[in-house]
Structure 1
């Protein structure tokens, strides 16, 4: 039996917004759902779910649709700076066995 997932209101809102952006851009470009689904390699019901903001769709399919339509997903992210920032953070975190003396 498939386990039901629960998502936060913010996740549902983000899915809804992205689905609406995809539907609006598809319509602006005068593309049919059949055409876009075929171009993305997904089924028509999957495209319909994505446009309605369903949380059950694969994220790769959602991102592919956005890319095909020219929707920038992370316009303010600088990949180089993000890579540099990640390089400065530890790859793992160890818990200290010694108690912390925080009595100032």
Structure 2
């Protein structure tokens, strides 16, 4: 089966490139080779190169793991602040509807 090409928005491409560049800069600041980072993250050396280029085909979990290993801040620099913000988002999410569209129960009243 042929591989399909997915189109990404310019914002998504720019964000991925920025994160890749941040990962590369942090790796170089720590005098770490791509092979060393790959070994620590449990991925291949070519995957590190793709991540550092901002390839949108790299799994987001891998990007987060590389960022965590290198200390690249994604949302909050402090772990406790990150947990506090995550907790607040979880509470807010609990208040939202479970579905975007609720199916009408029974017959629709369309008698105006």
2:50 and 2:87 mapped to 1: Cα distance?
Answer: 34
Would you identify which runs of 4 or more consecutive aligned residues in structure 1 move more than 6 Å?
none
Give 1:26-45 correspondences, 5 Å limit: 26-45=27-46
- Please point out which of 82, 85, 98 is paired with 1:91: 98
Residue 69 (1) aligns with residue 77 (2): no
* CA shift for structure 1 position 73: 1.4
For the residue of structure 2 that corresponds to 1:90, the secondary structure is coil
Give the alignment's TM-score, normalised by structure 2: 0.81
Give the alignment's TM-score, normalised by structure 1: 0.87
Give 1:18-33 correspondences, 5 Å limit: 18-33=19-34
- Please point out which of 76, 79, 82 is paired with 2:86: 79
Q: Which runs of 5+ in 1 are unaligned?
A: none
Aligned residue pairs, count:
100
* CA shift for structure 1 position 72: 2.1
2:60 and 2:36 mapped to 1: Cα distance?
Answer: 20
1:7 and 1:86 mapped to 2: Cα distance?
Answer: 27
1:98 and 1:27 mapped to 2: Cα distance?
Answer: 65
Q: Which runs of 5+ in 2 are unaligned?
A: none
